[in-house]
């Protein structure tokens, strides 16, 4: 039995998802017989951690602070082992621009992109370069904040007229945004547990519409695991996910989001999530289940892997 502090909530835009992940993790830890201290990650985080003096911290936070290396930095300072990836892997995964550069350098396919800060638009006239970017990427162009999750701030610009508003929307989430080439095809999620890829999850839209709204509106997307994919795609996707895991130096668990191009059959990595959702309907628990690892076993495994 261990004394486990479950870090949840926090102040990021993904607070609600984190509270749901945390609640499930806490239930599992109780069933596993651990002594659980729930901690909502707020201003008193450091004090509460020192008081609780847990053997290990289970980080069930998503988004800023929890997933970007900040909380990991604090835990290392205080000397508490924690679940999931270390500081450097969290920083590199949370910043989609940084992650994509690391992937490109390692020869891992990711959609073409350009990235700019708000300062470059305000102080360097980056907007004047938009026509070249639009020509290089083709429409629709995907515009998203560098550091955000749960599809927050993502827009699809169908033409040049739609780009400025999409950029503005993305800048309301982060001071750095990326403009990315659109990949037409299904969304695949490959969860990795301790360096081993789990069965692939495919997001399949219900009904005829196959667009962004359909994918993110509850009830309009079905998640199929294991995904029913053309020959060899599952293996390629899993290999790709493990390479991403290695390049970014991830640890414990991660979920790699990939697009399968309908046109060419190529796979493109969108991003790596260092702390994927752990709710009832989340994809990592689903993938683990399909691999014969039930939720409680998954949580115990993550605790055992805490460094």
- Return the residue of 57, 114, 257, 299 that touches ligand ADP, per CB under 6 A: 257
The verdict on whether 118 is a catalytic residue reads: no
Told to judge if 277 belongs to the known catalytic residues of this protein, a careful annotator would answer yes
Under the criterion CB under 6 A, does residue 101 sit at the interface with ligand ADP? no
Q: Which is nearer to ligand ADP, 182 or 223 (CB)?
A: 182
- Residue 151 has a CB neighbour count (10 Å cut-off) of 10
Q: Which of 37, 56, 270, 275 binds ligand ADP (CB under 6 A)?
A: 270
Alpha carbon distance 143, 131 (integer Å): 15
Residue 257 binds Mg ion, judged by CB under 5 A? yes
For residues 2 and 150, which CB has a smaller minimum distance to ligand ADP in the complex? 150
Told to check if 183 binds ligand ADP by CB under 6 A, we report yes
- Chain position carrying tokens 């290999």: 239
CB 190, CB 197: distance < 8 Å: yes
Q: Would you say 34 or 176 has its CB closer to Mg ion? A: 176
149, 251, 257, 295: which one is catalytic? 257
Q: Is 44 a catalytic residue?
A: no
Q: State the burial class of residue 111 (Cβ atoms within 10 Å of its Cβ: 0-12, 13-18, 19+).
A: middle
Active site residue 14: yes
Can residue 177 be called a binding residue for ligand ADP (CB under 6 A)?
no
CA dist 106 → 87, 149, 246 (Å): 20, 24, 10
Closest CA to 66 of 130, 2, 149: 149
Burial class (CB in 10 A: 0-12, 13-18, 19+), 283: buried
- Of 150, 181, 236, 261, catalytic: 150
Which residues form the interface with ligand ADP (CB under 6 A)?
Answer: 111, 142, 144, 148-151, 154, 180-183, 187, 212, 215, 257, 259, 270-271
């Amino acid at each position: 039995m261990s004394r486990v502090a479950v870090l949840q909530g926090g102040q990021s835009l993904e607070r609600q998802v984190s509270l749901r992940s945390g609640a499930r993790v806490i239930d599992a830890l109780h069933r596993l017989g651990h002594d659980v201290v729930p901690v909502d990650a707020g201003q008193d985080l450091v004090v509460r951690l020192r008081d609780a003096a847990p053997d290990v911290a289970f980080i069930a936070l998503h988004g800023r602070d929890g997933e970007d290396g900040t909380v990991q930095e604090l835990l290392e300072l205080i000397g508490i082992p924690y679940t999931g990836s270390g500081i450097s892997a969290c920083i590199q995964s949370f910043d989609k621009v940084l992650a994509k550069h690391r992937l490109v350098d390692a020869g891992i396919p990711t959609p073409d992109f350009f990235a700019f800060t708000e300062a470059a638009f305000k102080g360097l006239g980056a907007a004047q370069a938009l026509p070249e970017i639009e020509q290089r990427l083709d429409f629709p162009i995907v515009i998203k904040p560098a550091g955000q999750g749960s599809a927050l701030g993502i827009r699809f610009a169908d033409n040049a007229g739609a780009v400025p508003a999409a950029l503005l929307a993305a800048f309301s989430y982060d001071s750095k945004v990326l403009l990315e080439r659109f990949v037409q095809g299904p969304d695949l999620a490959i969860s990795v547990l301790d360096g081993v890829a789990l069965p692939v999850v495919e997001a399949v839209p219900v009904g005829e519409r196959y667009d962004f709204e359909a994918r993110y509106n509850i009830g309009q997307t079905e998640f199929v695991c294991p995904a029913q994919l053309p020959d060899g795609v599952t293996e390629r996707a899993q290999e790709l996910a493990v390479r991403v895991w290695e390049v970014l130096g991830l640890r414990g668990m991660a979920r790699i989001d990939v697009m399968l191009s309908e046109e060419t059959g190529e796979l493109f990595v969108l991003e790596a999530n260092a702390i994927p959702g752990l709710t009832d309907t989340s994809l990592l628990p689903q993938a683990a289940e399909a691999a014969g690892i039930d939720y409680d076993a998954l949580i115990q495994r993550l605790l055992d892997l805490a460094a």
